[in-house]
Amino acid sequence: MSGTSSFTPYISPVVRQFEPYVAGRSIAEIKEAFGLERVIKLASNENPLGCSPRVQEVLREQAALAFRYPQAGNPRLVQAIAAHHGVDPARVITSDGSDEVIDLLFRVCARPGVHNVVAFKPCFGIYTTQARFAGVELRQTPLNPDFTMDFDALLRLVDKNTAMVFVTSPDNPSGRAASRESLARLAGALPEHCMLVVDEAYIDFVRAERGGEAAFTMIPVLDEHPNVAVVRTFSKSRSMAGVRLGYGILPGDLASYLWRVRLPFSVSLLAEEAGIVAINDDAFHAETLRVVEEGRRQLEAGLTALGCTVTPSDANFICFSHPAMNDAAAVNDKLLRQGVIVRGLASYGLPDHIRVSVGTAEENSLFLDALAGALPGAQA
């Protein structure tokens, strides 16, 4: 079909305002474009160890069952998730990536044209797009210049029509984590009808010296905070970004409403089986955390040595700038030519910042070497 299809006038006006999603450039594309043999991708915060061997094994084993529908309600996966976190299974909703839980929360909790949702700026792109698609106003207050979070400013945007407040912790793209105390205080200060949604996609990467996930996740205190919902994903530390699996741990009655409207088979049979294995794959998870902790130290030291300003990160990526780098796109382009894909942050409103995912020790070195030659003022 051509782009001038005569059906455009009949498309919903909300949808007509959307631009096509622009994905990052793939390894294959960059190899082809610059005639490179090796390209490393440190752009999407994927697991540096690749896919867990046990997850690969279960995907192979279950391949023959791919003709079957998954079990509606994913009861075994829900049990596994609930047992892992020590929560009531009634609180758990599984989803096609955590993106789907976020999308469902907008549709279930907010009424189009009536309600608003509050978040920091910048925030994860899915909050922005799904708010728009749901017809819900998104109100934003800027993060502080050092990317710390001003919760009082967030609270000032909340009114009687605020359905939800979204906080990503650790945040993307900054890597900063909010303390449990500050989130608990925020939840307590919100009106009863307003849900605090905490996106914990990166929570298990919180530095061990700060107490790690156990000290930061809101899951253990959910019973004390009836208006808090937690969103999690298998895409990062559990190495399954391509399988698509996420979940929410919600107030029980809210979970039951999401279940009523979630597409019945949005979590595939393969995702369900892989998830049950992945959530119990303690050895792989521990190794992932070890490699990320070491790699983060390596990148922080290397970036600092190159004169970069590094935001302290509790995630598996690092956000940085450089005094001479006004336009990260030019640096990005030089990195691409050397076979290194990272994430420029122009779409987050940070055109002078780059986000790099923590890779293996070798990938981190390759990136740092390439960056040394790509920063403004470097000898080509």
Ligand X SMILES: *Cc1c(COP(=O)(O)O)cnc(C)c1O
Question: Site residues (CB under 6 A) for ligand X?
Answer: 45, 97-99, 124, 168, 172, 199, 201, 233, 235-236, 241, 246
- Closer residue to ligand X in complex, CB, 93/375: 93
Task: Work out how close the CB of 375 gets to ligand X at its nearest, in angstroms, rounded to a whole number.
Answer: 26
Residue nearest to ligand X (CB): 97
Q: Report the residue number, 43 or 370, with the smaller CB distance to ligand X.
A: 43
When computed from its CA atoms, the radius of gyration of the chain, rounded to whole angstroms, is 21
The residue among 193, 195, 201 whose CA lies nearest residue 183 is: 195
Q: Which of 48, 49, 26, 69 has its CA nearest to residue 339? A: 26
Of 250 and 325, which has the nearer Cβ to ligand X?
Answer: 250
Residue placing its CB nearer to ligand X in the complex, 194 or 198: 198
- Compute the distance between CA of residue 5 and CA of residue 48 in angstroms, rounded to an integer: 43
Nearest to 301 by CA among 292, 289, 310: 310
For ligand X, give the closer residue by CB, 202 or 325: 202
Residue with tokens 């009106």, as numbered in its chain: 191
CB of 134 to ligand X, least distance (A): 17
Backbone φ and ψ of 168, nearest 5°: -100, 125
With 0-12 CB in 10 A as exposed, 13-18 as middle and 19+ as buried, what is 82? middle
By C-beta, is 322 or 343 nearer to ligand X?
343
Q: Least CB distance from residue 137 to ligand X, whole Å? A: 20
Q: Under the phi-then-psi rule, with left for phi > 0, alpha for psi from -120 to 50, and beta for the rest, what region is 334?
A: alpha
Closer CB to ligand X, 85 or 322, in the complex = 85
Alpha-carbon gap, residue 135 to 345, rounded angstroms: 26
Least spacing, CB of residue 167 vs ligand X, in Å: 10
Work out how close the CB of 95 gets to ligand X at its nearest, in angstroms, rounded to a whole number: 8
The position carrying tokens 């922005």 is 128
Provide the token pair at 371. 């960056």
Question: Least distance (Å) from ligand X to the CB of residue 23?
Answer: 13
98: Cβ contacts below 8 Å, ≥ 6 apart: 199, 201, 231, 232, 233, 235, 246, 247, 248
Nearer to ligand X, 199 or 363 (CB): 199
| Minimum distance of ligand X from residue 231's CB (angstroms) | 7
How big, in percent rounded to 5, are the helix, strand and coil portions of the chain? 45, 15, 40
Query: Could you tell me the smallest distance in angstroms from the CB atom of residue 173 to ligand X?
Result: 8
Q: Return d(Cα 380, Cα 377) in angstroms, integer.
A: 9
